[in-house]
Amino acid sequence: MIDLKKHQSLGSALRESLETFADETCLIEADRERENHRLTYRQFKEASLPLAKFLEDRGFKSDSRGAIIMTNQSRWPIAAYAIFYRGGVLVPLDYKLTAAEQLALLAHCKAEVLVTEYHLWRAMTQAAGFTEFNVGQVIVTDAPRNAELHGALRWEEAKGAGGPDFIPRTRQDWACIVYSSGTGGRPKGCVLTHDNYLEQCLSLTALYPFWPGVRYLSILPTNHAIDFMVGFIGPFVCGATVVHLRTLRPEYVREAFPRYQITYVALVPLILKNLQSGLQKRFDELPQLKRLIFNQLVNLNRALTRTRPNLGLSRKLLKQVHEAFGGELRAIFTGGAFSDPAILQFFYDLGIQVANGYGLTEAGTAITLNDFAPFRADTVGKPLPGMEVKIIDRDPEGIGQVAVRSKTIMSHYLDDEELTAESIVDGWLLTGDLGRFDTMGHLQLFGRVKNMIVTEEGKNVYPEDIEKVFEALPVKEFCVFASNYVWPERSMLGEKLMIVLRLNEGQQFSDQLRAELSRHNNTLLNFKRISGYVLWDSDFPRTASMKIKRVALAEEIRSKFDRQTSLKEL
Amino acid sequence: MRTTEQIIDEILNLASTHFKTSRQGLSPDDDFFKTLGIDSLQALELLTRLENHFNVELPDYEVQGVNDFRTLAERIQARL
């Protein structure tokens, strides 16, 4: 690993890595059973610098903002490095957002350059908000030969001649603007500095080191805080290899493990659950005697690794399971959303460490991580080195809001002083999550103070982001809540959104209204949809400026209605 | 050359078989996530089945944002 302490920026650190590890394999890109290409660090540099020169020739300089909207592939980090090389601020956006959402965020962040895939660009040019599009330079990949590019340039043509000038940055300069949510309501663009990232990288690699020969399977979108760190920056500063898959079909993901002898992978709980159910199905299909022997081996492994993992032993005892994962898997990282303890235990019993952690984009990725000393399925681990974590406003059971202070905490929310001031108080980031430390110093989570949900795929959804789609509903008034915000449950699983409806006088909740509600609901991406409704019988409390007093309304509903009888499924 | 309706019919048959659900309960404009009770990964599994059946290659992005069988059929038809 290069010495990060001597670097002031991500660009500088990556620059040294590309020289230090020049002949090591940097990236492998596969598409189904085909391998598209492999790049060494030297080849990565040769691919990226012409793009950096192109950007330089177009006036891209320090603090210029460059957005990337792409699925995971080699061109993602190539474009990112070019932006950092020129001292720019990277804006990694989610390719799964709708075109309208992507356009809104591009406008919000005032990107000067956009690197994206042709099919995403095509969708943007067809979206209603495209008339306001104001990004000066668009570069598209995979554009068919005769495609209408609407002023964009092909990736292959975005090359400048000669060497670009490297623009140094300081640790306090902005590295990235990462949106933690807010595509429909109030965009939450987290401004993260080079210091945030370099410090986060140091603390994560202290626990989970990378080195040349380590292979990380990059499945989570690289715009996501987790993959950006463990699927790009972390491996790169250590000379490791990142494997990108152009398809996420489960069968190809499963094959990638043995094919590329994967060392680490990060998964959101949804994929982990899918993996677990696939494995369980295979185990259940074993002939009876084999099943019996297998179960005994799992029990033995569990007993022998009760205090600490023993990878060598587990690989011997459960050879076939580990060989199915390529025989080199050291850990699966998971976070972004809450993991079911039973699933974590399932993998641990097989000798596969699922390093469960907790973090926020606002905190620079990970706040706590399980260290397996011993394994705990019921917690999100201990604070990482450099993280100060405390519980504030504790109730009699010791549960209160989790607050964090660290060099990895974001600088602020882009163009939102008010929200920043509410979120970072005296240097402490108020996470909005409820937790408690146990006697071993492990953090346990018990729900949220915030009115929001996190899906199994790690997507944050705030009610205010989606209310707009229901504006035309023929009711007197409505409000969207996270169900657990109204009726707190001491659980992070199964979070759902609901809509509270105040009908017009004499109005009934008819089949027609239900159909109308569903119609609006279905315009949202699947993970943003509401799943239930509550019929409320009095006017919503409002401020003088007619904003709904959400806290007061939630309290009224909670005091008058119980969840079981009043929350109806949509 | 198959019509869209034919493709829809084949998709509904395949979906009902793969996810072991009644064919009668499926309609072209249904939200397949909701009707089949599946998540995004299971939707990708269905996609592989459809590729093998129709002998086309469908990049993952073709189903991004697609929730109903009819739109899925249109995407497949465009590649036949």
The reply to whether residue B41 touches residue A270, judged by beta carbons under 8 angstroms, is yes
CATH of residue B70: 1.10.1200.10
Q: Residues A443-460: pLDDT tens digits?
A: 999 888 888 888 877 788
Q: Are residues A472 and A443 in the same domain?
A: no
> How many domains in chain B?
1
**Region A493-511 average pLDDT:** 91
Residues 10-69 in B contacting A (C-alpha not used; CB under 8 Å): 31, 33, 39-42, 44-45, 47-48, 59-61, 64-65, 67
Domain shared by A232 and A278, yes or no: no
User: Is A91 within a domain?
Assistant: yes
Cα atoms in the Cβ-side hemisphere of radius 13 Å centred on A308: 3
Domain boundary among A242, A260, A278: A260
CB A56 within 8 A of CB A34: no
**Three-state helix/strand/coil letters over A445-457:** EEEECCCCEECCC
Regarding whether A491 and A403 lie in a shared domain, the answer is no
Q: What is the CATH classification number for the domain harbouring A408?
A: 3.40.50.12780
pLDDT tens digits, one per residue of A92-129: 999 988 899 899 999 999 999 999 999 999 999 999 88
Cβ burial of A161 (10 Å; 0-12, 13-18, 19+) is exposed
* Average pLDDT of the segment spanning A129-139: 94
Distance (Å) from the alpha carbon of B36 to chain A's nearest alpha carbon: 13
Q: Is the pLDDT of residue A249 over 90?
A: no
Query: Residue A429: its pLDDT value, please?
Result: 97
A98 and chain B: CB distance < 8 Å anywhere?
yes
Please indicate, yes or no, if residue A453 is contained in any of the structural domains.
Answer: no
Tell whether A312 is covered by a domain: yes
Residue A226 within any structural domain of the chain: yes
Q: Which of A260, A293, A322 finishes a domain?
A: A260
Q: What is the pLDDT of residue B60?
A: 86
In a domain, A209, yes or no: yes
Task: In whole angstroms, give the CA distance from residue A495 to residue A485.
Answer: 10
Contacts of B60 in chain A (CB under 8 A): 71, 246-249
**Smallest CA–CA distance from B43 into chain A, residue:** A249
Has residue A545 got a pLDDT over 90?
no
Helical (H) or strand (E) element with B15: helix B4-18
Instruction: Domain of residue A305: give its range.
Output: 268-448
Which residue, among A327, A322, A320, has the nearest Cα to A290 in the 3D structure? A320
Q: Is the dihedral of CA B34, B39, B44, B49 positive or negative?
A: negative
Question: Both A430 and A495 in a single domain?
Answer: no
| Residues A505 and A396 occupy one common structural domain | no
Residue A53 lies in a domain: yes
Asked whether residue A457 is assigned to any structural domain, the reply reads no
Residues A274, A181 within the same domain: no
- Residue-averaged pLDDT of chain A: 93
Percentage of chain A with pLDDT > 90? Answer: 78
Judged by a CB distance cut-off of 8 A, whether residue A259 touches chain B is no
CATH of the domain at A533: 3.30.300.30
Tell me the average pLDDT across A49-53: 98
Please determine, for the modelled complex, whether the ipTM score is greater than 0.95: no
Report the chain A residue with the minimal C-alpha distance to residue B57.
A32
DSSP A192: E
Verify that A339 and A251 share a domain, yes or no.
Answer: no
Examine the domain organization and report whether A80 and A220 are in the same domain: yes
3-class DSSP assignment, residue A356? strand
Whether A489 is in a domain gets the answer: yes
Together in a domain, A256 and A279:
no
Query: Is A276 in CB contact (< 8 Å) with chain B?
Result: no
Instruction: Say yes or no: A363 and A224 in one domain.
Output: no
Mean pLDDT on A353-365: 92
Q: Token pair of A227, please?
A: 């993959």
Q: Which tokens is B48 given?
A: 């592989």
Last residue of a domain, one of A448, A479, A511: A448
DSSP label at A568? Answer: E
Helices (H), A215-366: 225-228, 234-236, 250-260, 269-284, 288-304, 311-317, 319-324, 341-349
Is pLDDT at B67 greater than 90 in this prediction? no
What percent of chain A has a predicted confidence (pLDDT) above 70?
99
Residues A241 and A137 in one domain: yes
Taking an 8 Å cut-off on Cβ atoms, the answer to whether A249 and B33 are in contact is no
Where residue A527 falls among pLDDT bands split at 50, 70, 90?
confident
- Per DSSP bridges, beta strands A65-69 and A113-117 are parallel
Q: How far is A72 from chain B (nearest CA, A)?
A: 12
CB contacts of A271 in chain B (<8 Å) are 41
Task: Report residue A185's pLDDT band, with 50, 70 and 90 as the boundaries.
Answer: low
What pLDDT band is residue A407 in, cutting at 50, 70 and 90?
A: very high
- Structure confidence at residue A464 (pLDDT): 79
Do residue A248 and residue B60 have CB atoms under 8 angstroms apart?
yes
User: Do A305 and A421 reside in the same domain of the chain?
Assistant: yes
- Count of H-run helices and E-run strands, chain A: 20, 28
A370's torsion region: left (phi>0), alpha (psi -120 to 50) or beta?
beta
Burial of A142 (0-12, 13-18, 19+ CB in 10 A): middle
Residues 6+ apart with CB under 8 A from A452: A181, A432, A460, A461, A462, A463, A482, A485
Our count of domains for chain A comes to 3
Q: Which residues of B touch A247 (CB under 8 A)?
A: 59-60
User: What is residue A345's DSSP assignment?
Assistant: H
B29 neighbors B70 (Cβ within 8 angstroms):
yes
For residue B39, the enclosing domain spans 4-79
Predicted confidence (pLDDT) per residue in A254-301, tens digit: 899 999 999 999 988 888 888 898 899 899 999 999 999 999 999 999
C-beta separation of A48 from A82 below 8 A = yes
